[in-house]
């Protein structure tokens, strides 16, 4: 391995590349093309979807932009120009907006399909650094992305140009997101499997033990019945209800151990005598992640709690173990 001198040289190269990209980004930021607003308004008012396209590295950027838009409330797809030229242009229709990305604006594959997409009724927004390019000529709205210099020392590999295209796509997606009033609950709806989606979308009613998996006894239940219910349901606790299903209290295995230690477990003891009459409980409508936080952050954390409706009906039991298993 090289010594410290070699390492310093590597870091200087890395710093120079970063500085080159940062300088180009700042230049682009300071000279924003006002037609970006026209692009956002066009997409906002369109009745179709956004079709993002590009070749090579620009194609990679186009794919990422389409995914970002799709996940933040703007219907979008990626369309490869070669596939479009061989039949896939059929996914484009009247009212769609095409974001065509190309630094030079002279990609033959990209420019070849744009007249067809326009004939299908789509509007083309060109994103390029070259105002005199064929792409610029074919665009209904042209957004210029001037590049001071690529980070590549040969000025060949797309670096600053692709970064700027990516940032522009993200910024357009964020503008659309804000103008559409896209909220956290909407985001969760689009991301049901991710941790953030679960935190935003899962309610206690989705994860609680209910019906025949719920644990409950009447206030007149004896010790034998209480122990059987706690063991059978595997929750380490049981709710105590009246004849109408109203929660009266909670008995945990800790309560039983405590009563045993204090020599209060007589043969005739009932659930009413053993229960905690004021247990912590939650509503079915509460977010599962909020409940997990409340259960863990108490001065004395709890591992199980009843779930009760507004009219005090005992409808389920929430377990800390179940919440953690959901990946919250």
DSSP 48-96: S-EEEEESTHHHHHHHHHHHHHHHTT--EEE--HHHHHTTGGGG--TT-
Place of tokens 């682009």: 28
- C-beta separation of 80 from 199 below 8 A: no
In order of start, what are the domains of the chain with their CATH numbers?
4-182 (3.40.50.10490), 204-325 (3.10.580.10)
Helix (H) or strand (E) holding 29: helix 4-30
Mean pLDDT in residue range 34-55: 97
pTM of the predicted model over 0.75: no
Q: What is the pLDDT of residues 89-128, one digit of tens each?
A: 999 999 999 999 999 999 999 999 999 999 999 999 999 9
Specify the pLDDT at position 1: 47
Distance CA 222, CA 70 (A): 57
Q: Give me Rg for the CA atoms of the chain.
A: 31
Check: CB of residue 270 under 8 Å from CB of residue 221. yes
- Beta strands 141-144 and 123-128: pairing type? parallel
Q: At what angle do helices 223-233 and 253-261 cross, to 10 degrees?
A: 140
- Residues of the chain above pLDDT 70, percent: 95
Round the average pLDDT of the chain to a whole number and report it: 92
């Amino acid at each position: 391995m090289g010594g410290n001198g070699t390492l310093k040289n590597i870091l200087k190269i890395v710093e120079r590349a970063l500085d080159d990209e940062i300088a180009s980004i700042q230049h682009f930021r300071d000279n924003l093309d006002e037609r970006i607003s026209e692009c956002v308004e066009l997409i906002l008012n369109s009745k179709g979807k956004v079709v993002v396209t590009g070749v090579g590295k620009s194609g990679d950027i186009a794919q990422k932009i389409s995914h970002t838009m799709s996940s933040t409330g703007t219907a979008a797809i990626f369309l490869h120009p070669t596939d479009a030229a061989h039949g896939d242009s059929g996914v484009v229709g009247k009212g769609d907006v095409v974001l065509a990305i190309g630094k030079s604006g002279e990609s033959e594959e990209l420019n070849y399909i744009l007249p067809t997409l326009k004939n299908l009724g789509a509007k083309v927004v060109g994103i390029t650094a070259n105002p005199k390019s064929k792409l610029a000529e074919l665009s209904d709205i042209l957004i210029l992305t001037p590049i001071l210099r690529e980070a590549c020392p040969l000025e060949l590999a797309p670096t600053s140009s692709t970064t700027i295209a990516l940032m522009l796509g993200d910024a357009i997606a964020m503008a659309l997101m804000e103008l559409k009033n896209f909220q956290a609950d909407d985001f969760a709806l689009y991301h049901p499997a991710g941790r953030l989606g679960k935190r935003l979308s899962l309610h206690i009613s989705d994860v609680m033990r209910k019906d025949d998996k719920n644990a409950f006894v009447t206030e007149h239940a004896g010790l034998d019945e209480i122990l059987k219910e706690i063991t059978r349901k595997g929750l380490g606790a049981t709710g105590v209800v009246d004849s109408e299903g109203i929660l009266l209290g909670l008995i945990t295995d800790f309560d039983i151990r405590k009563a045993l230690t204090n020599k209060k477990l007589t043969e005739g003891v009932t659930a009413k005598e053993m229960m905690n009459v004021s247990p912590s409980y939650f509503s079915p409508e509460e977010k599962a992640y909020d409940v997990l936080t409340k259960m863990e952050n108490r001065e004395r954390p709890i591992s199980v709690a009843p779930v009760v409706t507004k009219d005090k009906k005992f409808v389920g039991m929430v377990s800390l173990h179940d919440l953690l298993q959901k990946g919250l």
